[in-house]
Amino acid sequence: MMNFWGSEWMDSSNSTEILDRRRLSEAWYKKTIIEMFTEYNIDDKIEFIKSDKIEALLVFHVEKLWKGFSKKWSSSFHTDNCKHTECSKAIIIDGHMKGTRSVCAARGVQYVESKELGTVEMGCWKMPCKGSMYCQDHKNLQMQDHKAPVAKEYDNEEDSTDCKTLKEKGPLIKCKTAGICASVYNCGIINGMKELYGCESLTQVYMFLVWLAKELLHFPNLLAYDDACHLKKFIINPLRAIKSQYSQFLAALRIVVDKMHFANHVDKWCRRNVNPYTDEQFKNINTEACEQTFQFVAKYKYSIQLNICHMENIICSC
């Protein structure tokens, strides 16, 4: 049997202490997070990381990390080095249901305040305890009905088309995330990503777009999405569109269905208002940039999403 240097630490037969694999995991997490802090000019310092504190640590810092990521890849760092002839002319967003994770089954336990949508009810997004449907904070709760987080709607206009593409009417993924919603420039550079809960609801997609409008240094006026008909009606709702400067900005965007999914949109309103083939500004735009990016990201669905997105951007910009 071949012996490797240091292998005695993994052998309990000689009465030595075994090197716990969790220490290696903790060291890797700490190294990765420190590298990301350095990459995005975040001054926070990381002390010793324990296995049972990793989730809390990531939750505490993840917003800063994503902001740093989005600002970097929407800045001149990207545009000055991109070789794509139509660099950053449009944003394509899409949901990706691979790489879901288990979440606490508690619902209606926290709320997100949105100037554009009001108070949005959310479930708990922490990991459940081993052998339980609930996290440590909610382990005493009884099993509840599962429903996707939704905003208070002003009307049902978003559902007034014949297209069967409204995603929040699909089956909910109970006690799991619904994957992620990604934002990608048409040249293939990822500029933002958010985890989805319950389903790919209009509320969550809209809140993600508002977040992008706040954080991106460059947000072009062209947007493609596979369910653009429902999203556009949601965005241009007269009562919602005047809520803030960001809702006004989104309402002014040119929004179309991506070319691959447009065949599924049969309603006359869709054909008239979100047709990528009749809008000259989308003539040379790669509206499938998200789908192409997901082919790469899906290979690493159990890794840190932000790190993988950074890797994909480096590859695309070469």
Instruction: Share the mean pLDDT of the chain.
Output: 80
Helix, strand and coil percent figures for the chain, each rounded to 5: 40, 15, 45
pTM over the 0.85 mark: no
Could you read off the pLDDT of 20-70 as tens digits, one per residue?
A: 676 777 778 778 878 888 888 777 776 666 666 777 777 788 888 889 999
Least confident of 34-38, 103-107, 210-214: 34-38
What backbone phi and psi angles, to 5 degrees, belong to 213? -60, -30
Q: Please tell me the total number of residues recorded for the chain in this structure.
A: 318
Task: Say if CB 172 and CB 272 are below 8 A apart.
Answer: no
**Is residue 133 a contact partner of residue 174, using CB atoms and an 8 Å limit?**
no
In the chain, where are the structural domains located?
Answer: 20-317
264 has pLDDT over 80: yes
**Contact by Cβ (8 Å): 250, 213:** yes
Per-residue pLDDT, 118:
92
Query: Using the 8-state DSSP alphabet, how is residue 49 labeled?
Result: P
Under DSSP, is residue 181 helix (H, G, I), strand (E, B) or coil? strand
Which of 34-48, 104-118, 129-143 reaches the highest mean pLDDT? Answer: 104-118
Contact 65, 305 (CB under 8 A): no
Distance CA 310, CA 208 (A): 19
The pairing of beta strand 91-96 with beta strand 222-225? parallel
**pLDDT greater than 90 at residue 126:** no
